[in-house]
Amino acid sequence: MKVLIHQTPERAVRCVADILVKRLDLQPDTVLGLATGGTMEAVYARLIKAYRGGHVSFDRARSFNLDEYIGLPPDHPCSYWRYMEDRLFDHVDFGAGATCLPRGDAADPEAEAAAYERAIARSGDIGLQLLGLGANGHIGFNEPSSSLSSLTRIKTLTRSTRAANARFFDDPDDVPRLAITMGIGTILRAEEIVLLGFGEGKAEAAAAMIEGPVSASCPASALQLHDKVTVVLDQAAASRLKLREYYELVHPGGGDAVITPFQPAA
C-alpha cells in the first residue's frame, strides 16, 4: 500500500486528479470505477478544469460507479446518477452510454445488482478504481461486517452512514435505507485502486484501514490484500497513523518515492 500524506486537502485532491489524468493519458480507454460523496466533489472539479484546459479526455474511457440508492430514479435530485451528471458527466466528453450506474429504481434490485456485476466483468473489470472512505471504514456501501469477497448486491446502510449522508437531503428521514453497491471482491478485481480521505473525521478509519488487521469490521482494510493501492490523505486524516513518520520518509510531501542507489564508501 502506497500511503501519500499531503500538507492540505487541496494538495491531496490535486494528487488524485493527477493520477487519473496520467492514467487516461497512458490508457485512454481505461475503465474507471467512480465514487460519489463530499470527498469526490473537488476531484471532479479539478478533472473538469483539466478537461477544459485540454489536459485530459474521457472520450474513449468508460465508467462504472460504485453504488446507487435503492428507490431513487436517475432523475431524483439526490440520486448518484444526478450527482455524477451535475459534477462530472455533463461537463466532460464521455461518449454516449459510456457511463454506468446501477438503476436505483429497478423493479428487481437483486437482478439489477447481478446484471451490474456481469457488466463490469464483461468490460474486462475496472482499470482504475477511485474510492472515498466512510468514517466507519466502509468503501462503496460495503458496511462493517461485509464479506471481504462480496460481489455487487444490496446492502442496508448503517445509521451512521445515513446520518453522514443526510446533508445531501432536505429531510434526514428521506435518506434511503438500502443501496446497490459493488462488493469488496468486485473492487479488489480492479487493476489499480486510489483512495482519497481528508479531515479528522476519517483519521480513525484510515488508521484501521492501513495498519489494523484485515477484518470485515473495517471493510477498507481489505485493500491491504491488493497489490496496487495508493491511499492519499491530508495531515488530519493521517493523524492517527502509528507509522506516519515512515510513510513521510518514503514519500516526502506525498510525492514519489526517492530511490537513490546505494553508494558504497570509496
Instruction: List residues binding ligand F6R (CB under 6 A).
Output: 35-39, 66-67, 132-134, 138-141
Structure-block grid coordinates of residue 6: 499531503
Q: How far is the CB of 101 from ligand F6R (least distance, A)?
A: 10
Find the residue with minimal CB distance to ligand F6R: 132
Q: How far is the CB of 35 from ligand F6R (least distance, A)?
A: 4
Distance, in Å, from the CA atom of 113 to the CA atom of 34, rounded to the nearest integer, reads 16
* Residue 121, CA atoms < 13 Å, CB-side half-sphere: 11
User: Active-site residues: which are they?
Assistant: 67, 136, 138, 143
DSSP 48-66: HHHHHTTS---TT-EEEES
For the stretch 238-247, contacts whose Cβ atoms lie closer than 8 Å and that sit 24 or more positions apart, written own/partner, are 238/3, 238/5, 238/203, 238/206, 239/200, 239/203, 240/203, 240/204, 240/206, 240/207, 241/3, 241/5, 241/206, 241/207, 241/210, 241/211, 242/207, 242/211, 243/211, 244/5, 247/3, 247/4, 247/5
Nearest to ligand F6R of 237, 257 (CB atom): 237
Give the containing element (helix H, strand E) for 231: strand 229-234
Give the Cα-Cα-Cα angle 47, 136, 153 (nearest 5 degrees).
75
Nearest to ligand F6R of 145, 257 (CB atom): 145
Classify residue 94 by its DSSP letter. P
Nearest to ligand F6R of 35, 175 (CB atom): 35
Distance, in Å, from the CA atom of 88 to the CA atom of 143, rounded to the nearest integer, reads 26
Count of H helices and E strands in the chain? 8, 10
Nearest to ligand F6R of 60, 240 (CB atom): 240
Q: How far is the CB of 139 from ligand F6R (least distance, A)?
A: 6
Distance, in Å, from the CA atom of 180 to the CA atom of 142, rounded to the nearest integer, reads 10
Q: How far is the CB of 258 from ligand F6R (least distance, A)?
A: 31
Nearest to ligand F6R of 216, 250 (CB atom): 216
Place of cell 564508501: 265
Q: How far is the CB of 81 from ligand F6R (least distance, A)?
A: 12
Nearest to ligand F6R of 127, 132 (CB atom): 132
Q: How far is the CB of 133 from ligand F6R (least distance, A)?
A: 6
